[in-house]
Amino acid sequence: MITVTLVRREMREGRVNMELNDTIRTTFAARDYTGEELPDEILYDILETARFAPSGGNRQGNRVIIVRDQATKDCISDLNIPAAKRYVAQVKAGENPWNAVVPMKVSDAEIEATEPASLLTEPFKTASVVLVFLVDLKVVASVDQYLDRIGIISGASIYPFVWNVLLLARQAGYGGSITTLAVTQEPAMRELLAIPDNFGVCAVVPLGKPVKQLTKLRRLSVGEIATCESFDGAAFEKLQGEN
Ligand SMILES: Cc1cc2nc3c(=O)[nH]c(=O)nc-3n(C[C@H](O)[C@H](O)[C@H](O)COP(=O)(O)O)c2cc1C
């Protein structure tokens, strides 16, 4: 209890014992949990700060459902299975899973015969809490809606909030993962959690005390993701002599 009080006080006063830089560099997809509880007091403080995330036009269509009931968490876990089977089958076939541009070559029969990886389904059962993030489609700005490609911009009004939650959970010594596979079963999620029609499910985040805190994440370098002046411009590399 002393730890909870201390973490809460430090979070409120904005001096949790971790630099933002370190937090960003070490917030990984935590899927194995010790079973220790993430208390409501700490979760409240996480949301209290995370809510300062931006949204298009500051419309704030973000909502979150806090799920602690084990039967509901088990149902959410099951709702990941169909999409997880396809995910695993496509990875095995060397494809980028669930991509909307390159057509899938894996057959329905192959998907059906594939076992869903437990890391894609178990975390919802074993997490202390599962957060279901929603956005109000009646207020969200979707400025790419007329483009001839899959929509991206609507998500930009919710994922900063989701990521704030994960960064703050990391600072408080907890962890979880953005997950999206259950969203393929949105009608069932809607029924399970009494979600109104105008809300879209954006992410399902299991949270708990991670068994291990990873510190080295595999990410592309700046030179691999940033170019100067145009897409085909020079890679943006570190200046010679800089640390
Ligand atoms: C948009 C998005 C969707 C994701 N969906 C899932 C998911 O459905 N299930 C899952 O286990 N992880 C999911 N992840 C987690 C990613 O697999 C994870 O962030 C990535 O592999 C990096 O992991 P690391 O931070 O541990 O290196 C998702 C992440 C993002 C950003």
Q: Which atom of ligand 1 is nearest to the CA of 217?
A: 27
Q: How confident is the model at residue 140 (pLDDT cuts 50, 70, 90)?
A: very high
Higher pLDDT pick, 238 / 27: 27
Distance 29 CA to ligand 1 centre (A): 6
CA of 177 relative to ligand 1 center, distance in Å: 6
Which of 87, 91, 177 to probe ligand 1 with, by most ligand atoms within 8 A of CB?
A: 177
Q: Is the pTM of this model over 0.75?
A: yes
Full 3-state SS string of the chain: CHHHHHHHHHHHCCCCCCCHHHHHHHCCECCCECCCCCCHHHHHHHHHHHCCCCCHHHCCCEEEEEECCHHHHHHHHHHCHHHHHHHHHHHHCCCCCCCCCCCCCCCHHHHHCCCCCHHHCHHHHHCCEEEEEEEECCCCCCCCCCCCCCCCHHHHHCHHHHHHHHHHHHHCCCEECCCCHHHHHHHHHHHHHCCCCCEEEEEEEEEECECCCCCCCCCCCHHHHCECCCCCCCECCCCCCCC
Residues of the chain above pLDDT 70, percent: 93
Q: Is 62 in the pocket of ligand 1 (CB under 6 A)?
A: no
pLDDT above 80: residue 125: yes
Give tens-digit pLDDT for 82-101: 999 999 999 999 999 999 99
Kindly report the number of other CB atoms within 10 A of residue 153's CB atom.
14
Is the CB of residue 29 below 6 angstroms from any atom belonging to ligand 1? yes
The CATH H-level (homologous superfamily) assignment of domain 4-80+121-225 is: NADH Oxidase (3.40.109.10)
